[in-house]
Protein backbone atom coordinates (compact mmCIF):
# COMPACT_ATOMS: atom_id res chain seq x y z
CA UNK A 1 0.00 0.00 0.00
CA UNK A 2 1.30 3.47 -0.88
CA UNK A 3 0.96 6.13 1.81
CA UNK A 4 1.63 8.76 -0.88
CA UNK A 5 -2.04 8.46 -1.88
CA UNK A 6 -4.67 8.62 0.82
CA UNK A 7 -8.43 8.72 0.48
CA UNK A 8 -10.55 10.44 3.14
CA UNK A 9 -13.88 8.58 3.07
CA UNK A 10 -17.27 9.20 4.64
CA UNK A 11 -20.77 7.79 4.15
CA UNK A 12 -24.35 8.63 5.06
CA UNK A 13 -26.82 5.80 5.63
CA UNK A 14 -30.51 5.05 6.11
CA UNK A 15 -29.92 4.16 9.76
CA UNK A 16 -27.34 3.20 12.33
CA UNK A 17 -27.30 -0.61 12.27
CA UNK A 18 -25.99 -2.47 9.25
CA UNK A 19 -27.39 -5.65 10.77
CA UNK A 20 -30.92 -4.23 10.46
CA UNK A 21 -30.59 -3.98 6.70
CA UNK A 22 -29.74 -0.29 6.54
CA UNK A 23 -28.03 0.91 3.39
CA UNK A 24 -25.51 3.51 2.18
CA UNK A 25 -27.20 6.54 0.59
CA UNK A 26 -24.18 8.82 0.06
CA UNK A 27 -20.48 8.20 -0.29
CA UNK A 28 -17.91 11.00 -0.42
CA UNK A 29 -14.16 10.69 -0.90
CA UNK A 30 -11.40 13.30 -0.95
CA UNK A 31 -7.96 12.43 -2.30
CA UNK A 32 -4.65 13.39 -0.70
CA UNK A 33 -1.42 13.01 -2.63
CA UNK A 34 1.76 13.63 -0.68
CA UNK A 35 -0.37 15.31 2.01
CA UNK A 36 -1.99 17.73 -0.45
CA UNK A 37 -5.72 17.80 -1.21
CA UNK A 38 -6.40 17.22 -4.92
CA UNK A 39 -9.55 17.84 -6.96
CA UNK A 40 -9.94 14.10 -7.64
CA UNK A 41 -13.03 13.53 -5.49
CA UNK A 42 -15.44 10.59 -5.66
CA UNK A 43 -19.02 11.43 -4.74
CA UNK A 44 -22.39 9.76 -5.31
CA UNK A 45 -25.86 9.81 -3.83
CA UNK A 46 -27.37 6.31 -3.92
CA UNK A 47 -30.86 4.87 -4.04
CA UNK A 48 -31.11 2.50 -1.05
CA UNK A 49 -34.36 0.87 -2.20
CA UNK A 50 -35.72 1.12 1.33
CA UNK A 51 -37.08 3.69 3.79
CA UNK A 52 -34.86 6.09 5.73
CA UNK A 53 -35.15 6.21 9.52
CA UNK A 54 -36.49 9.49 10.88
CA UNK A 55 -33.46 9.87 13.15
CA UNK A 56 -31.06 9.47 10.23
CA UNK A 57 -33.06 11.98 8.19
CA UNK A 58 -32.69 14.52 11.01
CA UNK A 59 -28.91 14.08 10.86
CA UNK A 60 -28.28 14.31 7.10
CA UNK A 61 -31.51 15.65 5.62
CA UNK A 62 -31.38 13.30 2.61
CA UNK A 63 -34.89 12.13 1.72
CA UNK A 64 -36.06 9.02 -0.10
CA UNK A 65 -37.73 11.27 -2.69
CA UNK A 66 -34.41 12.94 -3.49
CA UNK A 67 -32.72 9.55 -3.90
CA UNK A 68 -35.43 7.95 -6.06
CA UNK A 69 -33.65 8.60 -9.38
CA UNK A 70 -30.10 8.08 -8.09
CA UNK A 71 -27.95 5.04 -9.03
CA UNK A 72 -27.81 1.96 -6.81
CA UNK A 73 -24.61 1.04 -5.03
CA UNK A 74 -24.03 -1.86 -7.43
CA UNK A 75 -24.06 0.64 -10.32
CA UNK A 76 -21.05 2.57 -8.95
CA UNK A 77 -19.25 -0.24 -7.07
CA UNK A 78 -16.75 -0.96 -9.86
CA UNK A 79 -15.69 2.66 -10.25
CA UNK A 80 -15.49 3.03 -6.45
CA UNK A 81 -13.15 0.04 -6.15
CA UNK A 82 -10.98 1.35 -9.00
CA UNK A 83 -10.76 4.72 -7.23
CA UNK A 84 -9.89 3.24 -3.81
CA UNK A 85 -7.60 0.39 -4.82
CA UNK A 86 -4.13 0.57 -3.29
CA UNK A 87 -4.77 3.77 -1.33
CA UNK A 88 -4.65 4.26 2.42
CA UNK A 89 -8.18 4.98 3.65
CA UNK A 90 -8.64 7.58 6.39
CA UNK A 91 -12.07 7.24 8.03
CA UNK A 92 -13.64 8.72 11.17
CA UNK A 93 -15.05 5.81 13.19
CA UNK A 94 -13.89 3.40 10.50
CA UNK A 95 -15.79 0.36 11.77
CA UNK A 96 -19.11 2.03 10.92
CA UNK A 97 -18.32 3.03 7.32
CA UNK A 98 -16.30 -0.08 6.52
CA UNK A 99 -19.07 -2.31 7.84
CA UNK A 100 -21.64 -0.64 5.60
CA UNK A 101 -19.45 -0.64 2.48
CA UNK A 102 -18.42 -4.27 2.98
CA UNK A 103 -22.12 -5.15 3.25
CA UNK A 104 -22.86 -3.24 0.03
CA UNK A 105 -19.99 -5.00 -1.77
CA UNK A 106 -21.41 -8.34 -0.65
CA UNK A 107 -24.90 -7.38 -1.84
CA UNK A 108 -23.41 -6.41 -5.20
CA UNK A 109 -21.88 -9.90 -5.49
CA UNK A 110 -18.29 -8.64 -5.68
CA UNK A 111 -16.89 -10.84 -2.88
CA UNK A 112 -14.42 -8.21 -1.69
CA UNK A 113 -13.84 -6.30 1.52
CA UNK A 114 -12.22 -2.87 1.80
CA UNK A 115 -9.42 -4.25 3.96
CA UNK A 116 -8.36 -6.50 1.07
CA UNK A 117 -7.60 -3.61 -1.29
CA UNK A 118 -6.72 -0.77 1.11
CA UNK A 119 -5.08 -0.11 4.43
CA UNK A 120 -7.38 1.71 6.85
CA UNK A 121 -6.68 4.44 9.42
CA UNK A 122 -9.34 5.28 12.03
CA UNK A 123 -9.11 8.95 13.07
CA UNK A 124 -11.30 8.37 16.13
CA UNK A 125 -8.72 5.95 17.51
CA UNK A 126 -5.95 8.38 16.53
CA UNK A 127 -7.67 11.29 18.29
CA UNK A 128 -8.16 9.27 21.46
CA UNK A 129 -4.44 8.44 21.52
CA UNK A 130 -3.45 12.07 20.97
CA UNK A 131 -6.03 13.58 23.33
CA UNK A 132 -6.99 11.00 25.97
CA UNK A 133 -10.17 11.80 27.83
CA UNK A 134 -11.24 14.44 25.30
CA UNK A 135 -14.16 14.31 22.87
CA UNK A 136 -13.27 12.74 19.52
CA UNK A 137 -16.25 13.78 17.37
CA UNK A 138 -15.50 15.53 14.08
CA UNK A 139 -17.01 18.78 15.38
CA UNK A 140 -14.90 18.61 18.54
CA UNK A 141 -11.72 18.00 16.53
CA UNK A 142 -12.52 20.86 14.15
CA UNK A 143 -12.81 23.14 17.20
CA UNK A 144 -9.61 21.77 18.74
CA UNK A 145 -7.57 22.36 15.59
CA UNK A 146 -9.17 25.65 14.58
CA UNK A 147 -10.89 24.32 11.44
CA UNK A 148 -13.96 26.22 10.25
CA UNK A 149 -16.99 23.92 10.19
CA UNK A 150 -19.62 26.66 10.30
CA UNK A 151 -21.23 25.32 7.10
CA UNK A 152 -21.91 21.93 8.73
CA UNK A 153 -25.54 22.42 9.74
CA UNK A 154 -26.33 18.90 8.46
CA UNK A 155 -24.00 15.97 7.92
CA UNK A 156 -22.93 15.31 4.35
CA UNK A 157 -20.44 12.69 3.18
CA UNK A 158 -18.36 14.92 0.89
CA UNK A 159 -18.40 17.90 3.25
CA UNK A 160 -17.44 15.72 6.21
CA UNK A 161 -14.68 14.05 4.19
CA UNK A 162 -13.23 17.47 3.34
CA UNK A 163 -13.34 18.57 6.99
CA UNK A 164 -11.77 15.28 8.05
CA UNK A 165 -8.96 15.83 5.54
CA UNK A 166 -8.09 19.09 7.31
CA UNK A 167 -8.39 17.45 10.74
CA UNK A 168 -6.19 14.52 9.70
CA UNK A 169 -3.50 16.81 8.28
CA UNK A 170 -3.54 18.84 11.50
CA UNK A 171 -3.35 15.73 13.70
CA UNK A 172 -0.43 14.29 11.73
CA UNK A 173 1.42 17.55 11.10
CA UNK A 174 3.75 17.28 14.11
CA UNK A 175 2.11 20.04 16.19
CA UNK A 176 -0.09 17.92 18.45
CA UNK A 177 2.82 17.22 20.80
CA UNK A 178 2.76 20.85 21.99
CA UNK A 179 0.09 19.83 24.49
CA UNK A 180 -1.74 23.12 24.12
CA UNK A 181 -5.45 23.27 24.90
CA UNK A 182 -7.23 24.09 21.66
CA UNK A 183 -10.78 23.78 22.98
CA UNK A 184 -11.04 27.56 22.55
CA UNK A 185 -10.52 27.11 18.81
CA UNK A 186 -6.89 28.25 18.58
CA UNK A 187 -5.36 26.94 15.34
CA UNK A 188 -2.38 24.61 15.51
CA UNK A 189 -0.08 26.75 13.38
CA UNK A 190 -1.06 29.96 15.15
CA UNK A 191 -0.44 28.39 18.56
CA UNK A 192 2.93 27.03 17.47
CA UNK A 193 3.93 30.43 16.06
CA UNK A 194 2.96 32.20 19.29
CA UNK A 195 4.91 29.67 21.35
CA UNK A 196 7.96 30.10 19.11
CA UNK A 197 7.86 33.89 19.52
CA UNK A 198 7.57 33.55 23.29
CA UNK A 199 10.51 31.15 23.44
CA UNK A 200 12.65 33.45 21.32
CA UNK A 201 12.42 36.14 24.04
CA UNK A 202 14.31 33.89 26.45
CA UNK A 203 16.83 32.29 24.12
CA UNK A 204 20.30 33.53 23.17
CA UNK A 205 22.60 36.04 24.99
CA UNK A 206 20.86 38.89 26.75
CA UNK A 207 21.46 42.31 25.17
CA UNK A 208 23.16 44.89 27.47
CA UNK A 209 20.77 47.38 29.02
CA UNK A 210 21.12 50.92 27.71
CA UNK A 211 21.17 53.52 30.55
CA UNK A 212 20.18 57.07 29.61
CA UNK A 213 20.94 59.63 32.33
CA UNK A 214 19.07 62.91 32.77
CA UNK A 215 20.81 66.12 31.68
CA UNK A 216 21.22 69.26 33.82
CA UNK A 217 18.12 70.94 32.36
CA UNK A 218 16.01 67.86 33.05
CA UNK A 219 17.34 67.61 36.63
CA UNK A 220 16.59 71.29 37.27
CA UNK A 221 13.04 70.86 35.96
CA UNK A 222 12.64 67.81 38.17
CA UNK A 223 13.80 69.70 41.31
CA UNK A 224 11.44 72.56 40.50
CA UNK A 225 8.53 70.13 40.13
CA UNK A 226 9.31 68.44 43.47
CA UNK A 227 9.54 71.79 45.24
CA UNK A 228 6.08 72.73 43.94
CA UNK A 229 4.61 69.43 45.14
CA UNK A 230 6.23 69.86 48.57
CA UNK A 231 4.94 73.42 48.93
CA UNK A 232 1.39 72.44 48.00
CA UNK A 233 1.10 69.09 49.78
CA UNK A 234 3.62 69.47 52.58
CA UNK A 235 4.08 65.70 52.67
CA UNK A 236 6.91 64.92 50.24
CA UNK A 237 8.39 61.56 51.28
CA UNK A 238 11.20 61.42 48.74
CA UNK A 239 13.09 64.29 47.21
CA UNK A 240 14.45 62.30 44.29
CA UNK A 241 18.17 63.02 44.95
CA UNK A 242 19.25 62.83 48.59
CA UNK A 243 16.90 60.11 49.82
CA UNK A 244 13.93 60.44 52.19
CA UNK A 245 12.70 63.98 52.80
CA UNK A 246 11.76 65.27 56.21
CA UNK A 247 8.07 65.09 57.03
Contact (Cβ atoms closer than 8 angstroms) between residue 23 and residue 70: no
The DSSP secondary structure of 182-216, one letter per residue, reads -TT---HHHHHHHHHHHHHTTSSPPPPPPP----H
Which is it for the CA torsion 118, 169, 132, 140, positive or negative? negative
Residue 9 has a CB neighbour count (10 Å cut-off) of 29
Residue among 44, 60, 155, 222 flagged as catalytic: 155
Is 131 a known active-site residue?
Answer: no
Query: Among 119, 135, 123, 134, which residue's Cα sits nearest to residue 169?
Result: 123
Find the helix packing angle between 94-107 and 73-84, rounded to 10°: 120
Residues recognised as catalytic = 155
Amino acid sequence: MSAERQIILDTETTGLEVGDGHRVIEIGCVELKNRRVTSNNFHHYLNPERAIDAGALDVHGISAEFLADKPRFADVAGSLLDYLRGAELVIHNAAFDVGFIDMELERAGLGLRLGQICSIVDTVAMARRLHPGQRASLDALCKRYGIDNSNRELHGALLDARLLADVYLAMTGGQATLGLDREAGVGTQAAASALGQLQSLFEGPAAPLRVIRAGEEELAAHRERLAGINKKAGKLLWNGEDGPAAL
